[in-house]
Amino acid sequence: MLTRPSPVSVPDHEAGWVLTAQEVASSAAADAAAGDVSGDLPLSHLRALADSGLDAALLPVEHGGQGLSCTAVGAVVGVLAVAHPALATVWLMHVGAAHALVTLSTPEAAAHFAAELVAGRRFANALSEPAGGSFFLTSQQDATRDTDGWSFTGRKLFVSGAEVAHHLLLNVRIDGQPAFFGVTVDDTVSLPPIEPTAGMRATRSRSLVFAGTALAASRRCAPPTPEQASRISVAFPFLSLGIAEAALDALTSHAARRAVAPGSDQVLADAQWVRMETGLVWTQLRAARLLAEQTCWLADRGDPAALACAVEAKLLANEVAKQAAALAVRVCGGAGYLESSPVQRIFRDAQAGALMAYNSPFSSEVVGGWVLGRG
């Protein structure tokens, strides 16, 4: 796909990790369609990423990692998302939860979770809940005080990779305020029947039910400072950017070989409307990518503005992914509507980002409030 130089680039000493992601992505791409049909987690590719050392590289240096930059994490997510969006999503949620637990926990708990990540254990986020919606960071479910801390009985939704998770980043409400804990999965955590999603099926995003799950005081996380940007928040836009890029790749491939009419020497790529609309979507994708890269740049500098920029970047990237996928369907026509076409899968996957918190309507309102001085 057409590219332009960017003022933000992955540091030279981290570029090898992007190449590692490209190698895994080239293998994962062949499994994306099958994973969409079966809804199976891409475990072999997740293991390949972990075995390469990439997961552990995100850990802070003091915990044996390389303190991988947000810029590099975003680039990795983007590479994976072009090939296999569900793989990119589960990987980001896994390393994002682990990074949060290591950086926000007590020293003892942080060391434990870091060792677990290095050992190949899986992490997941248990944050969304029935009453939460886009207020997923402000839990509506109360924990009950007990002798060693608290216990939690309730339900969490849309936990990607839930079935293989050993540890969870969980939020609850304590004394009316949000609180976050590191929780090791035990027999108090169960999996109700899965409700398959329309897209991103291979994330195995599903509910978890908690029945008196212990929340130890020693596993309670400290609130992040304004300078501590969540790896998930800053890299999330790259999920939708990767899907948008995949949509344009599929569109370009089809338009370059499909004649505008039987017997015509012209192909769809020569049609004025295709060129005009593709140009507009590509320009929007480029703008969204620059905004996402700026978000990572701010986060790597410890600038508190990264958090607001992340909301704006996700909003734009989500909408561009939907626009690119919709255009791919129009250009490919009936051929793109067949189950054998990647376009129909890309179109369904493209809807997911705008539905995930913060969803697009919520983000639009928040950003609009900032612009209008009502934030």
Residues 156-208 pLDDT 10s: 999 999 999 999 999 999 999 999 999 999 999 999 999 989 999 999 999 99
Question: Fold for domain 231-371?
Answer: Butyryl-CoA Dehydrogenase, subunit A; domain 3 (1.20.140)
pTM of the model: 0.96
Same fold, 124-219 and 231-371: no
User: In this predicted structure, what is the pLDDT of residue 137?
Assistant: 84
pLDDT confidence of residue 231: 96
pLDDT for the residue numbered 141: 94
DSSP line for 186-223: -TTEE-PPP---SS-GGG--EEEEEEEEEEEGGGBPPP
Alpha carbon 271 to chain centroid, angstroms: 35
Residue ranges per structural domain of the chain: 12-122, 124-219, 231-371
CATH of domain 124-219: 2.40.110.10
CA distances for 132 relative to 127, 177, 351, angstroms: 9, 14, 20
Quote the CA–CA distance of 343 and 334 in Å, as a whole number. Answer: 10
Determine the CATH number of domain 12-122: 1.10.540.10
The pLDDT of 66-89, averaged and rounded, is 98
pLDDT tens by residue, 131-156: 777 888 889 999 999 988 999 999 99
pLDDT digits (tens, 9 = 90+) for 1-13: 888 999 999 999 9
Distance CA 345, CA 343 (A): 5
Q: Looking at per-residue confidence, does 372 or 261 come out higher?
A: 372
Strand pairing category for 167-174 and 123-126: parallel
Q: What percent of the chain has pLDDT over 70?
A: 100
The mean pLDDT of the chain is 96
List 60's β-bridge partners, or say none.
none
Of 73, 95, 98, 93, give the one whose Cα is nearest residue 21.
73
What pLDDT, on the 0 to 100 scale, is given for residue 127?
95
